[in-house]
Amino acid sequence: METSRIALPIGTALDRFIKNNQDQFQYASGELSQLLRDIALASKVVNREINKAGLIDIMGAMGSQNMGGEQQQKLDVLANIRFTRALTKGGEACALISEETESYVDLNNQGKYVIAIDPLDGSSNIDVNVSIGTIFSIYRRKSAIGLPITEADILQKGEQQVAAGYILYGSSTMLVYTTGHGVNGFTHDPSLGEYVLSHPDMTIPEHGRIYSINEGSANSFADEVKEYLKYCKDNNYTARYIGSLVADFHRNLLKGGIYIYPATAKDVNGKLRLMYECNALAFIAEQAGGKGSDGKGRILEIQPTSLHQRTPFYVGSTKMVDQAVRR
């Protein structure tokens, strides 16, 4: 009997993949690799806690609000602690921008990288056992190591990202990331406690048939958005909206589609955050052959002026984004 039939290969573990591809990164000194490993480790801890939600008292609201005035869930706070702790201890990051904190956190160390993170995206889905996610962007600091962090280190355009990724806590848990050399996806094997390469070199179909948008707010969409939705229906596209950005994005990445969160009467600049939601996903979309736009131009070219800045967001298959924003 062939030995491969009794001992199937497990594939490439994330650590091995990061190490093998370290040379692709122009500042290949190992810190970025370590940073990705720190994020992966924290995500495994968060994953473990999410899997126990319902059994222990970590569901429901904290009774406090985040920067957007939204109710903080216990798991939002817990995930923020896990990622902050991992990145602080790792020593590679000098500053952390998070959805859960008003100002950036100066980690007061010699780290070369600035991290923007949404520790737990899709909060409204936590308590109902629906997919949620983590989104992260990694930038190189601009100021010299040893000097205080400056605004230029923090408010960088998305095109300055050196890596970005997300973790999807779904029917399986996946980590998907890019360092600007394509997109690779890893599935968590709970029995090994490892992320294993399952989706090498991911590409998004140029065109798709899925549109993802909260149509409950359609009365207050701009006419161009209403027209695009009509176009989707006239062409028999299918609507899919989980309400967790990471999960909606991931599905559309695999199958082809568009996710839209436009300006609404309630959120006149859109709801999503440029620095720790849209930039990372726009970078991944572009690396996979897709597009990310604010309705007027490329998301990655927007100069942020504040940490928690919001933006309208159109992301996904190139032809669909072009169609949606040309009106």
What is the pattern of x (binds ligand FDP, CB under 6 A) and - over residues 109-128? ------------xxxx----
Q: How far is the CB of 215 from ligand FDP (least distance, A)?
A: 9
What is the pattern of x (binds ligand FDP, CB under 6 A) and - over residues 184-223? ------------------------------x---------
Q: Are 244 and 132 in contact (CB under 8 A)?
A: yes
Query: Which residues between 221 and 260 bind ligand FDP (CB under 6 A)?
Result: 243-245
Of 96 and 272, CB closest to ligand FDP:
272
Q: How far is residue 153's CA from residue 148's CA, in Å, rounded to a whole number?
A: 10
Q: Closest Cα to residue 222, out of 190, 263, 193, 168?
A: 263
Query: Which residues between 58 and 77 bind ligand FDP (CB under 6 A)?
Result: none
Of 17 and 221, CB closest to ligand FDP:
221
Q: How far is residue 130's CA from residue 251's CA, in Å, rounded to a whole number?
A: 14
Of 243 and 289, CB closest to ligand FDP:
243
Instruction: Tell me if 271 contacts ligand FDP by CB under 6 A.
Output: yes
Q: Are 105 and 154 in contact (CB under 8 A)?
A: no
Q: Are 115 and 136 in contact (CB under 8 A)?
A: yes
Q: Are 91 and 105 in contact (CB under 8 A)?
A: no
What is the pattern of x (binds ligand FDP, CB under 6 A) and - over residues 139-178? ----------------------------------------
Q: How far is the CB of 45 from ligand FDP (least distance, A)?
A: 20
Instruction: Tell me if 100 contacts ligand FDP by CB under 6 A.
Output: no
DSSP string, 82-129: HHHHHHHHH--EEEEEETT-SS-EE--SS--EEEEEEEEE-GGGGGGT
Residues touching ligand FDP, count (CB under 6 A):
11
Hey, what's the torsion of the CAs at 311, 278, 275, 203, to 10 degrees? -150
Of 29 and 124, CB closest to ligand FDP:
124
Q: How far is the CB of 63 from ligand FDP (least distance, A)?
A: 17
* Token pair listed for 319: 């032809």
Q: How far is the CB of 131 from ligand FDP (least distance, A)?
A: 10
**Contact positions toward ligand FDP, by CB under 6 A?**
121-124, 214, 243-245, 271-272, 277
